[in-house]
A and B are shown apart, each in its own frame.
Chain A
Amino acid sequence: MKYVCFDTNYLLAVLIPLDRWKPIIRLCEKEITELVDKDQVKVFITKLVKTEAYNRINKIAKNASNHFKTLFHKLKDTNLKSPFSTDSILRLRKELQLILKSEVDEVIRNQLYFFEDFLLKRIRDFPMKAKKIIIGECLSEINAMITSFDAELAIYDLDEIDDPQSKDDIEKLEKIKTRINTLVPNFNDRDILATFIYFINLHDVSGIFVTHDFKHLLLKSLFLEEEFNEINIVRPQYVKFLA
């Protein structure tokens, strides 16, 4: 049996895929499920993968809360109990542009565009609803992402790799990290990969690390595989062929 580990981005892609990814994600999901059913592979995530995924979602919810609150206060003088009119939509656009302009973080700016899309869609679908209800509902829906993610994650029965506890084991893990060090500059990626390598060594099995991160992992995969013979670092489509 081979052990398979998903990195954070791939885990998130499996649980909540972008529309254009769906065909390939579903195909790989089917293939991996079949391999699991035949006891050919076992799928894991590390503790840090789970934490990273939760942190990303919590951050989005927090950004949404702050962003919608700013917008709510800026629109207060337009009578929030009334529905959006042409004038107030123009005002909304202006305020959103000002919020965007003052945001320096590019990731948050991208999120703001999606919040804006969602807000406009709701105004179009419910033109008679009061402004404050539209904004409140949008915020509630975005915050509901946390429980949705929880439920999706629970469905997949993914085993979690615990961090080593004993001094010896911690040292072993640190040694692996040192070997990875120069090849993987991102701290969390290094930590996740090293924990998985430590884990497969512990169980004396070979492993498949699944990622679609080209920049940090896939481009270095051949060097990493040379350093660690026990592992393959691949895109999800390869799992079926390597199991």
Chain B
Amino acid sequence: MSSTIKTNFHNFSYSDAFLISVPKGNLFPTGIIEEKSELEKKAQGDIKLNIINELRNDLANTGNKILKDMPLPERFTKIQVIDKWMIRINSLFDRIELEIKEKKDTSFSMLIETIEFKEKIENKIRNKKYSSIDQLIKSYEKKLNKVFKTITEFMVSIRTDLSIMFLDSELPSEFMLCVSQTINSSIDYLRFLQSEQDPLMLDLKRYKSGRTTIKKSKPILIRIDKLDEIHNKLTLSLQRLLFFIEIWNSKSIDDLFTDQEIQYNIKNFDDYQEFFLNSLDKLTIYAKDFHHRVILESKEREKNQIFRLRNDDENIKSLYANLIHST
């Protein structure tokens, strides 16, 4: 977990980024809409551990996606990297499972717990069994508030960590521009999701009382689902980029998977410096495009005020204005 006390960014891409890439839209009751009927087939039991298992089972797939067509230095083979990567992630999941069993309130287990509450509500609604649903919705709402706040803080700390990684490196300023655009787009997406929380909860409560149907929420849930797909691609691309940097800046496979000081330098990419710069460029454009989609979506919902700079800290606003207008 990111703590901003690390000396470098080693191992960021396989633990912290995994947390930020968990689909945020899945925090909402998207399972209620027809398109998500596969959720009905989900095995009952401990939902939290089921979710962890799903993520764990999807590991090889994620690893392959991250490493797909990635040029590797001669000192590494793809199989070697994936194997070691899976061992590392599996041990991370072991730790999370333990935390859940020990009921430790880490940000990851909190996130999983929120999804658990959401799924319980979805199951009850789907099966028209409304016993104790009020209490569940209340707890879910509370968890949701907390989880959005925690993830936002967490992402801000990752943003700082990446800035420190950049400051301590010989990477070009385009790297800073790229991660900043990606993470800030992601933070704005979270803000948008948060702004949708109250109307969705209201609909959920009304639905239960029989006064309306969940169909009122359906269009926005479908749109969030679509945005989530793009957001996942965005975070996957960020993981891919960071992993690429880690690989080319590590001298050996052991260096790659142990916490060691790494001197990140564009020269370490050898013949792939151009590839690196192109990847930065592509990701920056993709992040910008995603950000525009989120803004358009919030405009559609008449919630564009949430992004206003006017809502920000006075010091930041003055700084921006002074910088822009200094001549």
Known contacts A133-B164, A136-B4: does B315 contact A118 (CB below 8 Å)?
yes
CB of A28 within 8 Å of the partner chain = no
Q: Which of B26-34, B35-43, B69-77, B176-184 contacts A (4 or more CB under 8 A)?
A: B176-184
B325 CB to nearest A CB, Å: 5
Q: Which of B177, B180, B308 has the most CB of A within 10 A?
A: B180
Q: Which residues of A contact B5 (CB under 8 A)?
A: 81, 130
Q: Which of A54-62, A167-175, A190-198, A228-236 contacts B (4 or more CB under 8 A)?
A: A54-62
Q: Which residues of A contact B291 (CB under 8 A)?
A: 147, 150-151
Q: Which residues of A contact B167 (CB under 8 A)?
A: 68-69, 72-73, 132, 135-136, 139
**Once the chains are docked, how many angstroms separate the CA of A118 from the CA of B160?**
16
Known contacts A18-B325, A136-B163: does B320 contact A148 (CB below 8 Å)?
yes
Q: A residues 13-36 with Cβ under 8 Å of B?
A: 13, 15-19
Known contacts A140-B159, A148-B309, A154-B295: does B325 contact A61 (CB below 8 Å)?
no
**Once the chains are docked, how many angstroms separate the CA of A132 from the CA of B305?**
33
CB of B202 within 8 Å of the partner chain = no
Q: Which of A12, A65, A145 has the most CB of B within 10 A?
A: A65
A190 CB to nearest B CB, Å: 19
**Once the chains are docked, how many angstroms separate the CA of A69 from the CA of B315?**
22
CB of A205 within 8 Å of the partner chain = no
Which of B7, B176, B299, B312 makes the CB contact (< 8 A) with A61? B176
Q: Which of B4, B177, B321, B323 has the most CB of A within 10 A?
A: B323
Q: Which residues of B contact A69 (CB under 8 A)?
A: 166-167
Q: Which of A89-97, A107-115, A178-186 contacts B (4 or more CB under 8 A)?
A: A107-115
CB of A144 within 8 Å of the partner chain = yes
Q: B residues 144-169 with Cβ under 8 Å of A?
A: 156, 159-161, 163-164, 166-168
Q: Which residues of B contact A227 (CB under 8 A)?
A: none
Q: Which residues of B contact A141 (CB under 8 A)?
A: 316, 319
Q: Which residues of A contact B228 (CB under 8 A)?
A: none
CB of A243 within 8 Å of the partner chain = no
Known contacts A16-B321, A151-B308: does B4 contact A62 (CB below 8 Å)?
no
Interchain pairs with CB closer than 8 A, number:
135
B324 CB to nearest A CB, Å: 5
Which of B176, B292, B308 makes the CB contact (< 8 A) with A139? B176
A74 CB to nearest B CB, Å: 11
**Once the chains are docked, how many angstroms separate the CA of A111 from the CA of B325?**
10
Q: Which residues of A contact B312 (CB under 8 A)?
A: 148
Inter-chain contact B319/A137, CB cutoff 8 Å? no
**Once the chains are docked, how many angstroms separate the CA of A72 from the CA of B185?**
26
Q: Which residues of A contact B160 (CB under 8 A)?
A: 133, 136-137, 140
CB of B132 within 8 Å of the partner chain = no
Which of B7, B163, B307, B320 makes the CB contact (< 8 A) with A151? B307
B269 CB to nearest A CB, Å: 18
**Once the chains are docked, how many angstroms separate the CA of A107 from the CA of B322?**
11
Inter-chain contact A143/B180, CB cutoff 8 Å? yes
Known contacts A140-B180, A141-B316, A143-B177: does B321 contact A155 (CB below 8 Å)?
no
CB of A146 within 8 Å of the partner chain = yes
**Once the chains are docked, how many angstroms separate the CA of A78 from the CA of B188?**
36
**Once the chains are docked, how many angstroms separate the CA of A135 from the CA of B168?**
11
Which of A17, A73, A81, A121 makes the CB contact (< 8 A) with B321? A17
Q: B residues 40-71 with Cβ under 8 Å of A?
A: none
Q: Which residues of B contact A114 (CB under 8 A)?
A: 319, 322-323, 326
Which of B164, B185, B307, B326 makes the CB contact (< 8 A) with A132? B164
Closest to B325 in A: A18
CB of B304 within 8 Å of the partner chain = yes
Inter-chain contact A144/B177, CB cutoff 8 Å? no
**Once the chains are docked, how many angstroms separate the CA of A103 from the CA of B173?**
18
Q: Which residues of A contact B173 (CB under 8 A)?
A: 61-62, 65-66
Which of B168, B188, B296 makes the CB contact (< 8 A) with A147? B188
CB of A142 within 8 Å of the partner chain = yes
CB of B80 within 8 Å of the partner chain = no
CB of B327 within 8 Å of the partner chain = yes
Known contacts A111-B323, A137-B163: does B188 contact A151 (CB below 8 Å)?
yes
Residue contacts A-B, CB under 8 angstroms, 23 given: A9-B325, A12-B324, A15-B309, A19-B321, A56-B324, A60-B323, A114-B323, A132-B168, A133-B164, A140-B159, A142-B319, A142-B323, A143-B163, A143-B176, A145-B323, A146-B180, A147-B188, A148-B320, A150-B295, A151-B188, A151-B309, A152-B307, A152-B308
3 tightest A-B CB contacts, nearest first: A151-B307, A143-B180, A65-B173
18 further interface pairs, Cβ-Cβ under 8 Å (given A16-B324, A147-B188): A12-B325, A16-B317, A16-B320, A17-B321, A18-B322, A117-B319, A132-B164, A132-B167, A132-B168, A140-B163, A145-B323, A146-B180, A147-B181, A147-B184, A148-B309, A152-B309, A154-B292, A155-B305
Seen from chain B, the residues whose Cβ lies within 8 Å of a Cβ on chain A are 4-5, 7, 156, 159-161, 163-164, 166-168, 173, 176-177, 180-181, 184-185, 188, 288, 291-292, 295-296, 299, 304-305, 307-309, 312, 315-327
